[in-house]
Amino acid sequence: MELPPVNIKKILYTTDLSESARFAFAYAASLAGKYGAEITILHVLMEDAKMESGIIGYIGEDRWKKIKDQNAQEARQALIGKKRENIAIRYGLEHFAENMAANLENEPEKRLTDEVVIRRGNPVDGIIEVSEQRKPDLIVMGTHGHGIIADAMMGSTARRVIRRSKIPVLVIRLPDEK
């Protein structure tokens, strides 16, 4: 059996801004460097209609909209490295861009484009929708790895993305600290 060639030109990296997501970014950046791929960074702000209606009842619709807009802006700033607590993502992107520039010196027509996308809604739906729109070759995401029993009982975001995705999904688990 002959193996098909692997050609990765677009990577969709999803993040919930957790430690496991930052760890997964190293894999996305490494693969992008190896294949000369572009990375789209996606963060989905979770929304729950039942929860929202309860909150709106207490604080009002206008106040809730302002809070959601502020949350979206803070997430965007964190993803593009303007907040100190997410310096790992900023450093990773800068390092990745430097490596890519060095690799593409002989091919000036190629250009690396990193895009930050922030969506609202269900994370799984958001990841699948963006993957269908942007048509990446690979989705890279972290998982929290709560153990065998917890993994079997819970429907994790990563598990549901794997089930629904039409493209390969690379799930990176945060290594156990010893």
Phi/psi of residue 15, each to 5°?
-140, 140
What is the per-residue pLDDT across 19-56, written as a single tens digit (0 to 9) for each?
A: 888 888 889 888 988 898 999 988 887 766 655 666 66
The enclosing domain of 18 has a CATH number of: 3.40.50.620
- 174 compared with 176, residue with greater pLDDT: 174
Range of the domain at 38: 10-173
What is the predicted pLDDT for the residue at 95?
Answer: 58
Phi/psi of residue 63, each to 5°?
-65, -40
Residue 85 CB partners (closer than 8 Å, separation 6+)? 78
Q: Does residue 25 lie in a domain region?
A: yes
Phi-psi category of residue 36: left, alpha or beta, with phi > 0 → left and psi -120 to 50 → alpha: left
What is the per-residue pLDDT across 49-60, written as a single tens digit (0 to 9) for each?
A: 655 666 666 677
Q: How many independent structural domains does the chain possess?
A: 1
What is the per-residue pLDDT across 3-15, written as a single tens digit (0 to 9) for each?
A: 988 999 999 999 8
Q: Does residue 4 lie in a domain region?
A: no
Query: What would the mean pLDDT of 129-136 be, rounded to a whole number?
Result: 96
Q: Does residue 1 lie in a domain region?
A: no
- 155 compared with 142, residue with greater pLDDT: 142
Q: Does residue 157 lie in a domain region?
A: yes
- Per-position b or e across 37-54, b if 16+ CB within 10 A of its CB: bbbbbbbbbeeeeeeeee
What is the per-residue pLDDT across 76-126, written as a single tens digit (0 to 9) for each?
A: 666 655 555 445 554 555 555 555 555 545 444 444 456 788 888 889 999
Q: How far apart are CA 167 and CA 13, in angstroms?
A: 13
